[in-house]
Amino acid sequence: MTQQTAGLAGVIVGTTAISTVGKEGVGLTYRGYDIHDLAKHCLFEEVAYLLIYGKLPNRQELNHYQKKLSSLRELPADLKTSLELIPQQTNPMDVLRTACSLLGTLEPESNKLKQTDIADRLLARMPGILLYWYHFHHNGTRIQTETHELTLASHFLHLLTRKKPNPQHVITVNTSFILYAEHEFNASTFAARVTVSTLSDFYSGITSAIGTLRGPLHGGANEAAMECISTFRTPSDAEIGIKKMLAEKKKMMGFGHRVYKISDPRSDIIKQQSAQLAKDHSEGYFHSVAERIEQVMWNEKKLFPNLDFYSATAYHFCGIPTHFFTPLFVFSRLSGWSAHIFEQRQDNRLIRPEADYVGEKQRAFMPLSERK
């Protein structure tokens, strides 16, 4: 373990057939398909199906899959009661982590309820879980978590706003879900694989992943980016502010990447969405602010924006509260996590590494009565 490979940076720890990240000349592919094609042409449901079931669905399979997901949106009564007990000021990621774990007690994995069905249930229900909790505590309403919306993106936005969503917002959220769906052995996916490598259950794997994604060095980055962007009103304010931050050795979230070395192929796609939405938004200047931050970060640090950076402004323009940004990452990445859990189980070996010991040499034991 050298300083370079600390945190397993660049260390190959297994094989995967699910995605390639940053491989030479390929950028990002899900099961061989380029992310640009998927983001341009697909519903998120097609991509989730690709990840979970291994192929892009045909029309009939997609219809069936969308119907299945729609039919699973109702939450068990005991889950709703528990959500009411979770305080209003809770980090929403803790709500999702707890709800996932609780679902594992209410509807455990079994021969009757198999891993793919649990994956689909979690995909279908996570927006309802977040928004049932949210509306109960913020508006005193017990919302109905079923809608007639056919996609996860429109379903989420409908539950958030309690009305038919803006079509452009649906497009942006759908695109972001595709971009966030899968990313090889990132920390949350790796945590899920470590967890199920003991032959633990599916819910334990996803619960670990949600808790891991929560941190600002991973999923939490899109929220941290928005918090920073929203402190500026003009590009020149931003330029001054970011340079000051860098001089103070503060970290700007949403830039650079452990695996991508030149650019993040997902960034331009979501940046376009952000630019489009900025045109008609009263706070559209946040997009220009973000562009200036991008410029400064490149000039000063040679760091490029990753997916989390322009997702922040794009989500903001869709009217999504900042503390829901990482939960949206969960809604989507559930598909990739699920695929990785299946893959880990298919050819399982316990993930149990070792450590270099750097502590106290062996020392003589001293009985309680003699200790100072």
Nearer to a second copy, 271 or 340 (CB): 340
Instruction: Report in angstroms how near the CB of residue 313 gets to a second copy at its nearest.
Output: 23
**Under a CB-based contact definition with an 8 Å cutoff, are residues 308 and 20 in contact?**
no
For every residue of 96-160, DSSP letters joined together read: HHHHHHHHHHHS---SSS-HHHHHHHHHHHHHHHHHHHHHHHHH--------S-SSHHHHHHHHH
**Under a CB-based contact definition with an 8 Å cutoff, are residues 295 and 305 in contact?**
no
Q: Is 308 a catalytic residue?
A: yes
Q: Is 257 a catalytic residue?
A: yes
* Cα–Cα distance for residue pair 55/62, rounded to 1 Å: 11
Query: Quick one: which of 51, 75, 179, 196 contacts a second copy (CB under 8 A)?
Result: 196
| Of 264, 308, 316, 340, catalytic | 308
What residue type is assigned to position 241 of the chain? G
Q: Is 183 a catalytic residue?
A: no
Instruction: Report in angstroms how near the CB of residue 46 gets to a second copy at its nearest.
Output: 7
User: Of residues 221-280, which lie at the interface with a second copy (CB under 8 A)?
Assistant: 258-259
User: Of residues 171-190, which lie at the interface with a second copy (CB under 8 A)?
Assistant: 184-188, 190
User: Of residues 9-68, which lie at the interface with a second copy (CB under 8 A)?
Assistant: 9-21, 23, 26, 29, 31-34, 37-38, 41-42, 46, 56-59, 62
User: Of residues 303-342, which lie at the interface with a second copy (CB under 8 A)?
Assistant: none
| Of 36, 137, 218, 323, catalytic | 218
Query: Quick one: which of 70, 72, 94, 276 contacts a second copy (CB under 8 A)?
Result: 94
* Cα–Cα distance for residue pair 244/250, rounded to 1 Å: 9
Tally the residues of the chain.
372
Instruction: Report in angstroms how near the CB of residue 163 gets to a second copy at its nearest.
Output: 28
Number of residues interacting with a second copy: please give it, by CB under 8 A. 107
Side-by-side strand order, sheet with 19-23: 19-23, 27-30, 33-34
For every residue of 154-196, DSSP letters joined together read: HHHHHHHHSSPPPHHHHHHHHHHHHHHS--TT-HHHHHHHHHH
* Nearest Cα residue to 121 out of 366, 324, 338, 296: 338
Decide if residue 4 touches a second copy (CB under 8 A): no
Query: Quick one: which of 217, 250, 280, 283 contacts a second copy (CB under 8 A)?
Result: 217
Nearer to a second copy, 94 or 300 (CB): 94
Q: Which residues belong to the active site?
A: 218, 257, 308
